[in-house]
Amino acid sequence: MLKKTHSEWKIHVLAWIGVVLFFSTRDLAFHPVFWQNVVTNTLVCLIAAIPVYINIYLLMPRFLYRKKYVLHFLITVLIIIPPGVSIAYILHEFIGIPFYGMLPGKVQMCAEVFLLTGLATTAKAVQQWQIKQRKLQEVEKHSLEQELQLLRNQINPHFMFNTLNNIYVMIKHEPSKARDSILRFSELLSHQLYYSNKPAIPLEQEMIYLKNYVELEKIRQGNAVEVNINMPEKSNLLIAPMLLLPIVENAFKHGFAAGLACYQIDICLEENENEVKFSCVNDHVKGKTGRKGGIGLKNVQKRLELLYPKHHVFLKQENDSRFEIMIEISGLNNKNTQKEDNTVNENQTLKA
């Protein structure tokens, strides 16, 4: 807190220096000695700072932030007049500038103090708005993290029950296939247990998770679904965990709900340097699935906005027979680069 306050006052001092230099340069047209202009305008700014700080630290919290705009304006004008007139008096009586002894000079000086107060008010209002936006984002992020934690800590009970039931049947008739399914199911649980709480994981690991989930869904739904997967075998990129799964879950859920004898899902993931393009397309019957953009898809959109602001695209397209979700994420970190950075940091720590 002290560091933040110290930094804020540094900005204030620099701003006032800028104001002094601006007015001193402007006054060269009337008074050619620059250093004298600096001294005069420093005195002016010291007096003008009184209404400025009364406004931003007393009047704005009490009136402006409470939406009492007219009252704030009137009081601000009233506290500006005495310093403005006082500055004009000093410039006339002690500095010897006749113009400020007349009414137009006093009005002009009050207008300049009003201008400085207005600029300070605007800067402070913008700063408060930014602080408010950051707090709202933090609250939203915290809420989303809680929602995500709930998703991480549970697997769809229906999916789990049917998968285990199918594996149980396979143990007797297809033991080798049952062993493979148990292994996939174990890897699915392992991923949720060990990877889902990390801020970023290898994209390669996320792809394995998706493939395991798809294979288990194929076992659960049998011949009712045909899935085509196009993904690279290896990847060095890092991505937020469980970001892609809700999209695939959504495709299985609504493809099955369409009531088709057999529906198709096409999953494609492409990687280009630090960019990933992911799409998932499924058959459906428009208006039959009751799809209005489920919680899972909304969660994905929120996470993209928070985790990859200005570095993502989320598109949803639908026609009578097909539904598609496509996302693009750029600026992803490379796990090899991160390892190198970690090694450098460790070496620096050891040297220190």
pLDDT of residue 171: 86
Kindly tell me the burial class for residue 163, based on how many C-beta atoms sit within 10 Å of its own C-beta (0-12, 13-18, 19 or more).
Answer: buried
Q: What is the rounded distance in angstroms from the CA atom of residue 346 to the CA atom of residue 136?
A: 36
**pLDDT beyond 70 at 129:** yes
pLDDT of residue 267: 96
Higher pLDDT, 153 or 333: 333
Residues 189-217: what's their mean pLDDT? 85
Helix (H) or strand (E) holding 329: strand 322-329
Residues 271-297: what's their mean pLDDT? 78
**pLDDT beyond 70 at 71:** yes
pLDDT, one tens digit per residue, over 31-48 is 888 998 899 899 999 999
- DSSP string over 247-292: HHHHHHHHHHHTT-SSEEEEEEEEEETTEEEEEEEEE--TTTS--S
What is the chain's mean pLDDT, rounded?
83
- Give domain 154-339's CATH superfamily: Histidine kinase-like ATPase, C-terminal domain (3.30.565.10)
**pLDDT beyond 90 at 287:** no
Q: Where residue 345 falls among pLDDT bands split at 50, 70, 90?
A: very low
Query: How many residues in the chain?
Result: 352
pLDDT of residue 149: 64
Q: What is the rounded distance in angstroms from the CA atom of residue 154 to the CA atom of residue 149?
A: 9
pLDDT of residue 313: 95
pLDDT of residue 351: 43
Residues 301-329: what's their mean pLDDT? 90
Of the listed ranges 38-47, 153-162, 264-273, the least confidently predicted one is: 153-162
Q: Where residue 191 falls among pLDDT bands split at 50, 70, 90?
A: confident
Q: What is the rounded distance in angstroms from the CA atom of residue 183 to the CA atom of residue 344?
A: 38
Where in the sequence of the chain do the CATH 3.30.565.10 domains occur? 154-339
pLDDT, one tens digit per residue, over 75-103 is 999 999 999 999 999 988 888 888 888 99
pLDDT of residue 106: 92
pLDDT of residue 347: 45
pTM across the whole model? 0.57
**pLDDT beyond 70 at 230:** yes
Higher pLDDT, 157 or 204: 204
pLDDT of residue 350: 38
**pLDDT beyond 50 at 227:** yes
pLDDT of residue 203: 93
Buried b (16+ CB within 10 A) or exposed e, 135-146: eeeeeeeeebee
